[in-house]
A and B are shown apart, each in its own frame.
Chain A
Amino acid sequence: MGYLQAITILSGCNLLAVLGMAVLTGYTGLFSIGHAGFMALGAYMGGILGKEMGWNLVPCLLGAGLFSGIISLGIGYPAFRSRLRGDYFAIATLGFAEALRLLLNNIHSIGKWRLGGAYGYMDLPELKHMTFLPDWAVVVIVCLIALWVTHMFITSQYGMNCIAIRQDEAAAEMMGVDLLRTKLLALFVSAFLAAVGGALLAFYFGYINPSFFGIQRSSDLLASVVFGGIQSLIGPAITAILIVAVPQLLLTFALYRFIVYGLLFVVVMVFRPQGLFGYVQMNSRWITRFFRHKPPEAMEQP
């Protein structure tokens, strides 16, 4: 049971970051290869707030998210402002994640806070001691809230603007969508969610290390969005869980994991570019349909 709980928690943390990636890549069409960097920011900020400041869980998560979101604007603004192609942003995020990892590897302490450099940041408050709920339940609740919030975001006017930008930037601008503000908003939301995921991960382990947030984790996040599908929340959410759970359950697969991901990237792009669940929206229509006595075709007749 402990094993299942661990998988639930790890995939929950991944899911939070993937929801952010879905907003950024799946809906806005921006391509981030360094999203693990935002998770790292959240993990360290959450750790500092929880351990050094002694804050409670919820303010810790919100503080970590806000911090990471604000930093993300500092990377997004120069890349989006010049209205250059998306490659610049991708390179900037990749460089940011690598630079941050190097920086965290070399910072041993900030004042009294002992971040530990490459040894890792130790003795963080643990999730199971921070609330009266069991730790896996906390993660599930946070994931459900995040799923609801992102769903509200993408169905709002802001989300519509994001979709318009992904489909045709020039046309969206002609229709009066503020490109810079919408892109920055999407980036902020995704960095916020990634940081919350990172902070939860830090509190689950009670320990974090810069190598948790390497390029492999960024690849995991990207893979979830690519396989899960463009313009869908539920697809990436399902693949985010699978991507953590499958290598844990089939340990021999873990060795070949990234080779398989890589080949699947190409196969998906060539044969099914919308992803497995592309354009599938999260809604409850199938539930209501399930409880109806009449078939849905009959219901729709006037």
Chain B
Amino acid sequence: MDWELFFQQLVSGISIGAIYSLLAVGYALVYSVYNFTNWAFDGFMVFGSFIGFSAILSWALPLWLAVTLSIVATVILSVTVETTSYRPLRLRKAPRLFMMISAMGVNLAIVNTLNLVYGGLFRRFPFEDLQPYFVGGISIGRMDLIAMVISALILVLLWVFLYRTKLGLGILASSVDILTASLMGINNNAVAITVFTITGVLSSMAGLFYGMKYAVYPTMGLVTIKAMIASIIGGLGSLPAAVLGSMILGVLETFVAGYISSTYRDMFSFAFLIVMLLFLPNGIMGKSLEEKL
């Protein structure tokens, strides 16, 4: 067995797993508090990526400013979507089906607006001159390394925020029972805005990393299906499980692409989802999520 190739694939898989984990944590956070899948996440990610791209190429801003701008714009979008499209439904106690349709609508509108504005072309960030690092014969792309380190940093910061601050604990309490939490004096609207701010940051970072690693194009958001699959593999609604699932999916997928064929990578992910649903429907770390009476 060629160990160099093996470790090369492993590093590459972990770096794509890091991007999935940002997205999967975003899904898991919204799912754990509001019990619905935020289908608009796809749109947020593409939006963040395009804003960053425009900031660097069209407006010639430095990288740090472009990233900040992308994060701020995505957070504004995410919070606006929450207040206009989800909150009215939640206040009316609408069925989950309606929330999902509303989120799908937001997604369709964002992705197709970007498609109209930028066109469907694949665009690359202008980072051609980045040399990879070499560690014992394995090359590690600089972008991969940055994505891994920053994703890990963001996840640690998120953990600290959720478990060590008052607002974070409020979010955790809401994820157990949102009604009781609000009776205990937790401000529901503050929780909603914080949750969607966090998902805005996560999706824009994921969009930027994904765009820098591959390319920026309006349908790049389809990668969020992978993040959903990853969060199911880990166990839907739990943040550490989402990270674990993302890493497993990212690594396995890269091995399939490397050793079998890259055309079957996406099919493998889907087949993996079906197998998981058949044998481990609650995910690897999941508690029983069956709907209760």
Interface residues of A (CB under 8 A from B): 25, 29, 31, 33, 75, 78-79, 81-88, 90-92, 94-96, 98-99, 102-103, 106, 169-170, 215, 219, 222, 226, 255-259, 261-266, 268-270, 273
**B36 near A95: Cβ-Cβ < 8 Å:** no
A211 to chain B, nearest CB (A): 12
**A78 near B102: Cβ-Cβ < 8 Å:** no
Contact among B88, B105, B273, B290 with A84 in the assembled complex (CB-CB below 8 Å): B290
Number of A-B contacts (CB under 8 A): 141
18 cross-chain CB contacts under 8 A:
A31-B101, A78-B274, A78-B281, A81-B278, A83-B291, A84-B282, A85-B96, A87-B31, A106-B263, A215-B219, A256-B116, A259-B112, A265-B108, A266-B106, A269-B89, A269-B99, A269-B102, A270-B85
Give 1 or 0 for each of B40-76: 1 = CB within 8 Å of chain A CB.
0000000000000000000000000000000000000
Contact among A25, A78, A91 with B225 in the assembled complex (CB-CB below 8 Å): A91
**A88 near B105: Cβ-Cβ < 8 Å:** no
**A169 near B273: Cβ-Cβ < 8 Å:** no
The A-contacting residues of B in range 104-140, CB under 8 angstroms, are: 104-113, 116
Complex contacts, B104 vs chain A, CB 8 Å = 33, 219, 222, 262, 265
Give 1 or 0 for each of B254-284: 1 = CB within 8 Å of chain A CB.
0000000001001101110110011001100
Given pairs A219-B108, A265-B105, 5 additional interface contacts (CB within 8 A): A83-B291, A99-B266, A102-B266, A258-B109, A259-B113
B275 to chain A, nearest CB (A): 8
* A interface secondary structure, majority: helix
Provide the bound-state CA to CA distance between A190 and B267, in Å.
23
Complex contacts, B107 vs chain A, CB 8 Å = 262
Contact among B84, B219, B293 with A170 in the assembled complex (CB-CB below 8 Å): B293
Evaluate whether A78 and B269 lie within 8 angstroms (CB atoms) in the complex, with A170-B291, A262-B109 already known.
no
Closest to A167 in B: B95
The A-contacting residues of B in range 26-46, CB under 8 angstroms, are: 31, 35-37
Provide the bound-state CA to CA distance between A261 and B267, in Å.
29
A46 to chain B, nearest CB (A): 23
Interface: B289 (CB within 8 A) = yes
Interface: B155 (CB within 8 A) = no
Interface: B97 (CB within 8 A) = yes
Contact among A25, A78, A219, A265 with B278 in the assembled complex (CB-CB below 8 Å): A78
Interface: B191 (CB within 8 A) = no
A168 to chain B, nearest CB (A): 10
Contact among B110, B273, B291 with A92 in the assembled complex (CB-CB below 8 Å): B273
Give 1 or 0 for each of B181-215: 1 = CB within 8 Å of chain A CB.
00000000000000000000000000000000000
Complex contacts, A258 vs chain B, CB 8 Å = 108-109, 111-112
**B277 near A82: Cβ-Cβ < 8 Å:** yes
Provide the bound-state CA to CA distance between A102 and B274, in Å.
17
Evaluate whether A96 and B270 lie within 8 angstroms (CB atoms) in the complex, with A88-B232, A273-B94 already known.
yes
Interface: B98 (CB within 8 A) = yes
Closest to A87 in B: B37
Complex contacts, B85 vs chain A, CB 8 Å = 266, 269-270
B50 to chain A, nearest CB (A): 15
Complex contacts, B263 vs chain A, CB 8 Å = 102, 106
Interface: B153 (CB within 8 A) = no
Residue among A90, A98, A99, A169 with the most chain B CB within 10 A? A99
